[in-house]
Amino acid sequence: MKYKQMFRVALLASALLGASLSAYAEDNKPIKVGFMLPATGTYTALGNAIENGFKLYVSEQGGKLGGRTIEYVKVDDESDPAKATDNINKLIKSDKVDVVVGTVHSGVAAAMAKVAKETKTLLFVPNAGAQAITGPMCAPNIFRSSFSNWQPGYAMGEVMAKKGIKKAVTITWKYAAGDESIKGFKDSFTKNGGEVIKDLNLPFPNVEFQALLTEIAALKPDAVYTFFAGGGAVKFVKDYKAAGLMDKIPLYGAGFLTDGTLEAQGGDAEGLQTALHYADKLDNPKDKAFRSAYETAYKDMVPDVYAVQGYDAAQMLGIGLAATNGDVSKQAELAAAIEKAEIDSPRGKFTISKAHNPVQDIYLREAKGKENVVVEVASKALADPATGCPLK
């Protein structure tokens, strides 16, 4: 080969190598995950548990999903719907995240889903149960790893009716999560012969329960069904007990009433029965491994339903990215992989509906000491109706 020719070949080879190296760098640049979770207010502990669970799964995978390193940025959403649009826009436009993970509060999450849908940003909802997200607003790029507000309510209504409870009062915060939890409860409770004699509520995140507890005492229902969570759930249970109602009017609820809260409730929740897609003592190998890894990673913190939902959001993202070799832009392939997967969750195996909500067992649990011990499966493979979702 002449010198000139050799020079040309070398030049071509180095150009090709350069091009493939830069493609390699592009493919392998980290994926930026933006956490939008509460770091202040009544849902703070819930946000922490979700972040811990998510990061635990990623670290078990060596810090990578779909072959790409995962990097994090985060914003405190304060459980404030009025700030939600600005907060998610900041993650997408300024921080340039590839994926958003959030949040706890249904009103905040609904605003996030709107932006995610418009901008086609991948969104994993690791708690908020707002029906709309996997109903009228459902989208190929939006997934929920948790539940719909309707699911635990529906399961609990059936259990209470079967116990022979006839007249119930409901009490909750006046926002999507409370309203929809009560709706789920009523759907099955009334279908099975129960009657709701009064719906009581107060604005989120208020905890001045006294006047409402006085009203419950006067109404004398057979039982009360409630949705409260986080710091508000701690206070509600303590106030219910202090008002002398615990032994007179049985209290039931969606399991958030006693999940991650038993320590702070200091025994006042003892014996409470609730319905949820997670419980303590589930006796499956995945849960045992998860709990021991969590307690090791987070210095003896005990995982709760929120930690499980964070862990499973990361598992779902991992399943999607494995199918696209780490390419977040291949949303159809990513969604198809998640839709056909059986997710091996600490809660037990579950699948994702076409509307992208978990189809899962709902457990009846009873608070014993610091645990919500599983009593039975209250509702097997319960699917949200996903009313209004064109994908289902």
Least Cβ distance, residue 37 to ligand PHB (angstroms): 12
Place of tokens 């645990």: 371
Which residue, 239, 222, 269, is CA-closest to 372?
A: 269
User: Taking CB under 6 A as the criterion, which residues in 166-185 touch ligand PHB?
Assistant: 177
Least Cβ distance, residue 11 to ligand PHB (angstroms): 60
Closest residue to ligand PHB: CB criterion: 229
Which uninterrupted H or E stretch holds 263? Answer: helix 262-265
Whats the size of the chain, residue-wise?
A: 392
Which residue, 207, 210, 221, 212, is CA-closest to 171?
A: 212
Options 128, 139, 269, 282; binder of ligand PHB; rule CB under 6 A: 128
Q: Does 235 bind ligand PHB (CB under 6 A)?
A: no
Q: Does 241 bind ligand PHB (CB under 6 A)?
A: no
Q: Does 106 bind ligand PHB (CB under 6 A)?
A: yes
Q: Which stretch binds ligand PHB (CB under 6 A): 28-36, 125-133, 163-171, 372-380?
A: 125-133
Which residue number, 46 or 316, has a Cβ lying nearer to ligand PHB?
46
Q: Does 309 bind ligand PHB (CB under 6 A)?
A: no
Q: Does 229 bind ligand PHB (CB under 6 A)?
A: yes
Which residue number, 106 or 145, has a Cβ lying nearer to ligand PHB?
106
Which residue number, 152 or 348, has a Cβ lying nearer to ligand PHB?
152
Which residue number, 128 or 364, has a Cβ lying nearer to ligand PHB?
128
Options 35, 240, 256, 363; binder of ligand PHB; rule CB under 6 A: 256
Burial class (CB in 10 A: 0-12, 13-18, 19+), 57: buried
Options 104, 216, 276, 308; binder of ligand PHB; rule CB under 6 A: 104
Which residue, 59, 96, 118, 21, is CA-closest to 328?
A: 96
Which uninterrupted H or E stretch holds 348? Answer: none
| Sequence-separated contacts (24+) of 196-200 with Cβ below 8 Å | 196/167, 196/168, 196/169, 196/170, 197/167, 197/168, 197/169, 197/221, 198/169, 198/170, 199/169, 199/170, 199/171, 200/169, 200/170, 200/171, 200/172
Q: Do 184 and 174 contact (CB within 8 A), yes or no?
A: no
DSSP state of 163: T
Q: Do 353 and 139 contact (CB within 8 A), yes or no?
A: no
Q: Does 237 bind ligand PHB (CB under 6 A)?
A: no
Total site size for ligand PHB, rule CB under 6 A = 11
Q: Does 252 bind ligand PHB (CB under 6 A)?
A: no
Residues in contact with ligand PHB by CB under 6 A are 104-106, 127-130, 149, 177, 229, 256
